[in-house]
Structure 1
C-alpha cells in the first residue's frame, strides 16, 4: 500500500532508485515530496536536488549528476521526469538518450544518491530491455486511484496531521462534493482545518459552508433530481449554472459524460465487474463509479442508449445553430421529467 511506503520513506528507509508510475498526479506529487523531505534538509535542496525533463535533456546528463558526490550533505536527489524512452510512444524526440549509460548505472547505483523516475503513464513498454531492468532494480510504486476506504483513511490522516477531527458525515460530504479528486480534497482540507482551528471539529455543515460544488457535482445532482422527478430543483441548478456563466455547450458535454458513465458502469456491473474494476476500466475515480452505480439502478440499458442518442442530436443542433442552446437543454430535461 502507498501509505506503508510513505511511512517507510518518512522513517528514512530509502532505496537508491524509485520508479513512480501512473496517472494519479496527486499521489505522484506527494510521494516525490516525501522522498525529497526524507533525503534532504531544507538548506541542502539548492545544492543537492536536481530535476531533469527527458523531453529536453539527455539521460546521460542526469546520470552524471547522480554519480556526483553531494555537496555539504549526505545525499543527492535526482528526479528524472517524463522518461518517454520507457514507453512505446513513437513521437519524435528532441534529444537522443544514451540508454547504455542508464543501464550501467542501474547495475551499480551510487549509494549516496536517490534517483526518482517520474513516469506519468498508464503503462510502460515491457518489451524493452531498459524497462525490464529498471523495474527489476528500482522500487516500483504504482500511482493508481485510491479505493473509497483508502481515500477516507488518507483524509482522516491529513486532518489528524493538522490536529483537527473529521466527522463521519463530513467525510462523506467532502467526498461527494469533490468527486473523490485527491488534489481538490487536500486543498479543501487545508481550508477547513484553518477555519475550525487546531483541536476543532469539521462537521457536515462546515463542509457545506466552505466547499464549493464542482461543475461535475452540479451535473450529478441535476440528473439525480431529474430521476426523482424533482423538476424544480433540477431546473434551478441549470439556471444557476447559466447565471455563473457556464456555457450550455459545456453543460451538455458533461450531461453526455455522466450518462455515458452510467451506461458503462451498468453494463460492466451486469457482467460481474466490481466497483474498483469498473473504475480501472473506465479510468475514473472509484467514488464516481459508486455514485454512477446508484443512478444506473434507476435506468434500463435501452433507456440510457436512447438518452445518449437524444443528447447527440441536441449537440448537433446546438453546434449547427438550429435551435437556441438554452432551449435545447430545457427541452431535453423536460422530456426526461416526463419519461422518468
Structure 2
C-alpha cells in the first residue's frame, strides 16, 4: 500500500500499473488522484473514446471486465474507472447484497491474474468516516494491484493546495493567515473549497485577515460530531466514546458536545422527513442552510436511522440536558449513559 507522493513519482517515471485501487474518506481527493492518472495516460483529444465509468455498487464485474477487454481507439491505453466499489468493503447488509459483493470480489481477483495490457482499471471505495481503515478485502489485493490509501492532506501539502485555491480565486492571503486557515478548516477537499469561496466573497477583494478567518470558519469539532453520531448509527459505542474522549481532551465542554449532538439528530430528523416527502438534496440544503456536500453526507447518515429511533434519540438528548442542568452528578458519566441508551 502506497501514498499519493509515491504514486506521483511512479507516474512521472511512466511506471504504470494495470490496476489501481484507491481508498480513503475524502472522495474529492480520490477523484483528483484518479483524474491525475487519467490525464497522464490518455490524450485529451480521444479521452471520450477511451474512458469508461461504472458504479461499483450496482454493476456486476462481468460488465466491467468486458469494457476492459475492448481495444482502445487511437491510443495505446484505455481507462476504466469503477467508483463506489462497495464490493471492496467487508461484508455487511443483507445476504443478497453480500452474495453480489463476494461474487464481484472473486471475479476481480480472477481478472487480476491476467489483466489485459491495453487497459488501466481504476477502482475506488470511499470510507464512511475519517477513522475507518482499509478492509480485509483491500489488504488482500495489495500484492495484485497498486493500492493507494488517500490520507488527508496536512502540513505543507495542505497549505500549498489552499494557497493555490486562494490565488486561483484572485484573493490575497498572508503566510500566517494561511496557516491559521489550514488549522481551522475540516480536512476535506469539498469543505475546503467551499470555505475558500466563502472567505474570498467575504473579503470582497481585500487581503484576507485572521479576523475574517475566525469570523467565517466553522468549528472543527463539527466533523467529529458527525463521526460520533455515525458510530452511534452503527451501534459502535466504543468508537463513539473514543471521539467523545478526544473532544473532552481538546477542551470541549460536555453541555456543548450534547448541544451539537442534539443539533445533529434534529437535522437528521428533518432531512429524513424531507426525503420521505420527496424533497431533493438541493431543496433540503437550501431550507436547512447546509452546503450541498454536507447535506448529501447527512442524507446518507439519516438512512441509517428509522424515524422512530431519531425521535427517541432527540427525546434522550432533552432528558440528558435536564439531568446535566439539575443534578450534581458527573457530566461525563451522564453523557456516556446517554450514548449507551441511543444504541440500545
Q: Which has the larger displacement, 177-186 or 134-143? A: 177-186
State the distance in 2 between where 1:139 and 1:45 align.
23
State the distance in 1 between where 2:57 and 2:32 align.
23
Out of 88, 101, 109, the position equivalent to 2:115 is 109
How far 1:34 sits from its partner (Å)? 0.9
- TM-score scaled to structure 2, two decimals? 0.55
- Residue number in structure 1 paired with 2:178: 171
State the distance in 2 between where 1:34 and 1:212 align.
32
State the distance in 2 between where 1:118 and 1:81 align.
5
State the distance in 1 between where 2:19 and 2:71 align.
16
- Residue number in structure 2 paired with 1:120: 126
Q: Which has the larger displacement, 10-19 or 27-36? A: 10-19
Q: Which has the larger displacement, 177-186 or 108-117? A: 177-186
How far 1:79 sits from its partner (Å)? 1.0
Q: Could you tell me whether the CA contact under 8 Å between 1:76 and 1:112 is conserved in 2?
A: yes
State the distance in 2 between where 1:19 and 1:213 align.
34
Q: Could you tell me whether the CA contact under 8 Å between 1:169 and 1:204 is conserved in 2?
A: no
SS class of match (1:70): coil
Out of 16, 22, 29, the position equivalent to 2:24 is 22
Whether 1:183 aligns to 2:190 is yes
State the distance in 1 between where 2:315 and 2:145 align.
50
Greater Rg by CA = 1
- RMSD over aligned CA atoms reads 4.9
SS class of match (2:57): coil
- Residue number in structure 1 paired with 2:75: 73
1:1-340 equivalences in 2 (<5 Å): 1-6=3-8, 8-9=10-11, 12-91=14-93, 92-93=96-97, 95=100, 97=103, 99-121=105-127, 122-126=132-136, 132=140, 134-156=141-163, 166-176=173-183, 178-189=185-196, 203-204=208-209, 208=213, 212-214=216-218, 216=219, 257=225, 282=243, 295=251, 304=253
Q: Could you tell me whether the CA contact under 8 Å between 1:20 and 1:141 is conserved in 2?
A: yes
Q: Could you tell me whether the CA contact under 8 Å between 2:186 and 2:223 is conserved in 1?
A: no
SS class of match (2:152): coil
How far 1:7 sits from its partner (Å)? 5.1
Unaligned runs of 5+ residues in structure 2 are: 230-238, 266-311, 327-344
How far 1:83 sits from its partner (Å)? 2.8
Q: Could you tell me whether the CA contact under 8 Å between 2:61 and 2:104 is conserved in 1?
A: yes
State the distance in 2 between where 1:206 and 1:114 align.
48
- TM-score scaled to structure 1, two decimals? 0.56
Unaligned runs of 5+ residues in structure 1 are: 221-253, 262-277, 284-288, 297-303, 333-340
SS class of match (1:135): coil
Q: Could you tell me whether the CA contact under 8 Å between 1:159 and 1:165 is conserved in 2?
A: yes
State the distance in 2 between where 1:306 and 1:156 align.
36
Q: Which has the larger displacement, 111-120 or 96-105? A: 96-105
- Residue number in structure 2 paired with 1:226: none
